[in-house]
Structure 1
Amino acid sequence: MMELINHLSLGFGVAFTPINLTYAFVGCLLGTLIGVLPGIGPLATIAMLLPATYGLPPVSALIMLAGIYYGAQYGGSTTAILVNLPGEASSVVTVIDGYQMARQGRAGPALAAAGLGSFFAGCVGTLVLAAFAVPLTELAFMFGAAEYFSLMVLGLIGAVVLASGSLLKAFGMILLGLLLGMVGTDVNSGVARFSFDIPELTDGIGFIVIAMGLFGYGEIISNLGKHESEREVFIARVQGLLPSRQDFKRMVPAVLRGTALGSVLGILPGGGAVMAAFAAYTLEKKTSLQPGEVPFGQGNIRGVAAPESANNAASQTSFIPLLTLGIPPNAVMALMVGAMTIHNIQPGPQVMTSNPELFWGLIASMWIGNAMLIVLNLPLIGIWIKLLSVPYRWLFPAIVLFCAIGVYSTNNSTWDVWMVGLFGVIGYVFIKLGMEPAPLLLGFILGPMMEENLRRALLLSRGDWSVLLTRPLSASLLALAALLLLTVLLPSIKKKREEAFVEA
């Protein structure tokens, strides 16, 4: 305990310098500002603003990027509630009840519930990160390539189990993601594969291209396919910005449940924040409605508070595998790996010992960032509402334009802009077929890492596949994955799972 306090005091000493406080504030502000724009989530925001951190000292750069991350994450919930467009994957569930609340003129309480829930969960998530960092770093030294591979298999199976809709569709989406992740250049031989002699494909397909296409453009095409009366984006009738006492009474237990779930699920590789949001929403629907409470899917405040708390807690604890194991559990953390590499920092267990100022300074800055977000956002809710009460005929070309600029700016490539358009059409088809794109994204991120670790494990064992089962840690992770899969295939559990995801 004493050791933890010493570490945190070192961290706060680093984070409370005027320069780092300024960068944390700039990160939160920029993240929220761009995150509020529909179709541009944390991933695109960080990718667009990454070059701005090149000239900064390493600690300041990472503090600013972390600020951008949770600022954009927060902004994503704003667009989900107001425009029915999830800013990013983990806001997909917030849309269900948040948008209904906005339509009923209760956008203020919905946004306040998201903000307060996020703040509490973020603080708890950071505390979990600080407490578990040291023991997990020690555990990380026991992991080899086989263990990493098995850990990712477990993450993907977890993603299938917690994806909404049919298991078969979720499996199909994960496989499609894994296949798309194989496009590019073979890691070991350097030979281009599945690139069809197109030079732009030798580097693989960009994650931002797929994410923006499936979520941003797919949603827009789907909206344009509806009659104008159905795609009313936002009814700008907002009465009162703060939740009522009754709302608070319902919110508090939901926030606590969401925070606990998110803190645990964020650690799993494979989009912890997405899984956490879905799981928290499912859990709330399992919790019986109180007398006079609105049903889920019709504007229940618990349906906003729980997933938002869960995805924020998960986004803080997802730093755990990055900082302790060196594995980015989601695409945003993969960009963080890129940022660390640019500043000559090798992510992994050695960061804590070789660069304690950076490690603990980043953790301390998360508390400061969360406080800044509340101070920044609650008074600005009125401005976001005005900003987004724009008619859809003006809004959708602006979203398309911002997405195109965001995609173009990451690689300065027009090819990426065309690819986003293609994935937008594919995303629309998925919406029509009732298929959830989140598992595809997880498969796409984890696929190349799984392949690399599997090949490394096989190389070390001279091609002997039994290495995955003879190493105790690897075998137990695979057994856990198999158990999870068997459990969810049991008829009674399968039926309950389908009921849980009826509206999600």
Structure 2
Amino acid sequence: MLDHLLNGFATALQPMNLAIAFLGSIIGTVIGVLPGLGPTATIAMLLPLVFTMSPVAAMIMLTSIYYGAMYGGSTTSILVNIPGESASVITTIDGHKMAKQGRAGAALAIAAIGSFIAGTLAVMVLTIVGKPVAGLALRFGPAEFFSLMLFGLATVASLAGGRISKAIVTTVVGLMIATVGIDLVSGAPRFTFGNPFLSDGIDFIVVAMGVFALAEVVTTAREIWAGTQSGVVKADKVWLSWKEFTYSLPAILRGSFFGFLVGMLPGAGATLSTFIAYNVEKRLATNPERYGTGDIRGVANPESANNAASGASLIPLLSLGIPGGGATAVMLGALMMLDITPGPLMFEKHGALLWALIASMYVGNAILVVLNWPLVNVFARIMAVPARYLMPIVLVICTVGVWSISQSSVDLVCTAFAGLVGYYMRRHGWPVEPLVLGLILGGRMESSYRQALIISKGSHGIFLEKPISFGLLLAAVAFLVAPPILARLKRTRAIAAPVHA
């Protein structure tokens, strides 16, 4: 294996392949920063370009773009509360609060470091046990995937603490929005109100731009109008101290583990892995109340899970020929057009390509750190721009990002409406994240649910008969029931303590 890996490095470090990895990382990072496109659309648009390259150069380009986009999405999440793509949603919780506290530099730095560590660890596991681990993914059928996504929704709802009932309501609203469009089984339009622009459903970016970015713009405008807008908080430092790094390292390692574990499952994706990793990290923390207030671990953990999941998604793609998400599905199409069929014989038939690709992923992670580390200082200075000038720029970015999806005025109207809903939710303590995740997972949940019922001939017992599915359902119930019970026990002890004293 070591000999194969060294040969792979010899190929990946050739000047032309190194230049391609560098170019792909730059393109991916820029695309990740700009909302609306995302890695899937970018890879799809660049497919004609890669067909003129050799198979090795083509795959290096595509994976570099993929990794770069996963990292780039964290930048706008931290600075202006706009998730560049769905996997960066959870980063907004603590990342943007850190930026408002003048710690944008530390947040951006830990995102870069966590991404590098997690991405490298994921490639190491891919190198060593990629093929055997891929077999575990075959144990997941439609019933298991439905239960896994239900578990993911339950973990996010439990993040709301004492607002679990509100979180459940917003999750259901997200699932309802996901039903808009053409029914995959019958082909009938649902909740489109005769508008053809809604036939493809409501895109995640349309809602995310509204509930995150536009709600932020409206809130800031109201504060400026009322004269309660706080002064500009300049970044007090744009570097990461050793103490902050050691404090975040356990969160990075745990995020890498859970991100890889969930990310290697076909269809789960980086988004679900970040939500699950963040929730588990909060449960394991000795001071969970600090999460959501600008704790640096709240950036380190999901960003690590994000990049670990990106590496893990290549395991089922290369070993089984099963894409883990939209971006890897486009990569699968590119490989097949290059006359390369991924599967169990990939290591034997195309070993040189595979090892060169794995080696380029090590190189790509290093390039991303070298590329983005000097920019931390530049990005952090954005927070020094007064809100009255920054918010109009955010508004323009949102408009361009939404318009780039389908050039539809309907999407702009939906974004504006989502912005008003997001502002209302923020003012009245309704959590936004469950709504967004419900929208992201809704389509895949429904598909898995209906596939499972078709397999079982209409019997819901299939979700309880499968051990993995049953275990995930129990875990989902535990995540929803445990927080209220623990909170009640805590209050009981607090009341009883003075009596015993």
Shorter-chain TM-score category?
A: 0.7 to 0.9
| Equivalent AA in structure 2 for residue 426 of structure 1 | V
2:247 pairs, out of 236, 250, 254, with 250
Evaluate the alpha carbon distance shift between residue 483 and residue 345 of structure 1 in structure 2; reply closer, same or farther with a 3 A threshold: farther
Tell me the equivalent position of 1:275: 276
For residues 471-486 of structure 1, the aligned pairs below 5 Å read 474-486=466-478
Evaluate the alpha carbon distance shift between residue 217 and residue 246 of structure 1 in structure 2; reply closer, same or farther with a 3 A threshold: same
Give how far 1:485 is off.
0.9
Tell me the equivalent position of 1:459: 454
What is the SS of the residue equivalent to 2:199?
helix
Evaluate the alpha carbon distance shift between residue 92 and residue 285 of structure 1 in structure 2; reply closer, same or farther with a 3 A threshold: farther
Conserved in 2, the CA contact under 8 Å of 1:274 and 1:438?
no
| Equivalent AA in structure 2 for residue 47 of structure 1 | A
Distance 2:215 2:32 in 1: 18
Distance 1:464 1:381 in 2: 54
Name the count of aligned residue pairs.
475
Tell me the equivalent position of 1:397: 392
Distance 1:436 1:326 in 2: 38
Tell me the equivalent position of 1:32: 29
Distance 1:90 1:491 in 2: 20
Distance 1:111 1:187 in 2: 40
Conserved in 2, the CA contact under 8 Å of 1:35 and 1:73?
yes
Does residue 204 (structure 1) correspond to residue 201 (structure 2)? The answer is yes
Tell me the equivalent position of 2:494: none
Tell me the equivalent position of 1:446: 441
What is the SS of the residue equivalent to 2:223?
coil
1:235 pairs, out of 213, 233, 236, with 233
Evaluate the alpha carbon distance shift between residue 308 and residue 149 of structure 1 in structure 2; reply closer, same or farther with a 3 A threshold: closer
Tell me the equivalent position of 2:495: none
What is the SS of the residue equivalent to 2:50?
coil
What is the SS of the residue equivalent to 2:46?
helix
Conserved in 2, the CA contact under 8 Å of 1:93 and 1:278?
no
Distance 1:68 1:62 in 2: 10
Give how far 1:92 is off.
1.7
Does residue 374 (structure 1) correspond to residue 369 (structure 2)? The answer is yes
For residues 67-466 of structure 1, the aligned pairs below 5 Å read 67-83=64-80, 87=84, 88-95=88-95, 98-102=98-102, 106-162=103-159, 166-227=163-224, 231=229, 234-236=232-234, 238-239=236-237, 241-264=238-261, 266-267=263-264, 269=268, 271-280=272-281, 283-284=284-285, 286=287, 301-302=296-297, 304-320=299-315, 333-338=325-330, 340-341=332-333, 344=336, 351=343, 353-354=345-346, 356=350, 362-387=357-382, 389-466=384-461
Distance 1:324 1:481 in 2: 29
Distance 2:148 2:293 in 1: 38
Deviates more, 1:481-490 or 1:426-435: 481-490
Give how far 1:426 is off.
2.1
Give how far 1:396 is off.
2.0
Give how far 1:496 is off.
8.6
Cα deviations by residue, 1:183-229 (Å, 9 ceiling, x for unpaired): 11121221112211111112211222222222222222222222376
Conserved in 2, the CA contact under 8 Å of 1:181 and 1:445?
yes
Cα deviations by residue, 1:12-64 (Å, 9 ceiling, x for unpaired): 46644545433332232233345446xx38x6465357413443137655544
Cα deviations by residue, 1:447-472 (Å, 9 ceiling, x for unpaired): 222322333333344334434444xx
Give how far 1:156 is off.
3.3
Evaluate the alpha carbon distance shift between residue 315 and residue 284 of structure 1 in structure 2; reply closer, same or farther with a 3 A threshold: farther
Tell me the equivalent position of 2:49: 55
Evaluate the alpha carbon distance shift between residue 97 and residue 178 of structure 1 in structure 2; reply closer, same or farther with a 3 A threshold: closer
Conserved in 1, the CA contact under 8 Å of 2:207 and 2:415?
yes
| Equivalent AA in structure 1 for residue 278 of structure 2 | A
Give how far 1:362 is off.
4.8
What percentage of aligned pairs have identical amino acids?
Answer: 39
Distance 1:162 1:327 in 2: 32
Tell me the equivalent position of 2:496: none
Give unmatched runs, 5+ long, in structure 2. Answer: 492-501
Cα deviations by residue, 1:392-438 (Å, 9 ceiling, x for unpaired): 22322222222222222222333222222222222222222323333
Cα deviations by residue, 1:368-397 (Å, 9 ceiling, x for unpaired): 222111111222223223455333223222
Evaluate the alpha carbon distance shift between residue 256 and residue 166 of structure 1 in structure 2; reply closer, same or farther with a 3 A threshold: same
Tell me the equivalent position of 1:502: none
Cα deviations by residue, 1:58-109 (Å, 9 ceiling, x for unpaired): 765554454344434434444444445555303123326522552xxx5444
Distance 1:204 1:132 in 2: 39
Distance 1:466 1:251 in 2: 43
Distance 1:230 1:323 in 2: 54
Give how far 1:147 is off.
3.7
Distance 1:78 1:396 in 2: 16
Deviates more, 1:140-149 or 1:296-305: 296-305
TM-score (norm 2): 0.79
Conserved in 1, the CA contact under 8 Å of 2:38 and 2:69?
no
Give unmatched runs, 5+ long, in structure 1. Answer: 289-294, 500-504
| Equivalent AA in structure 2 for residue 156 of structure 1 | L
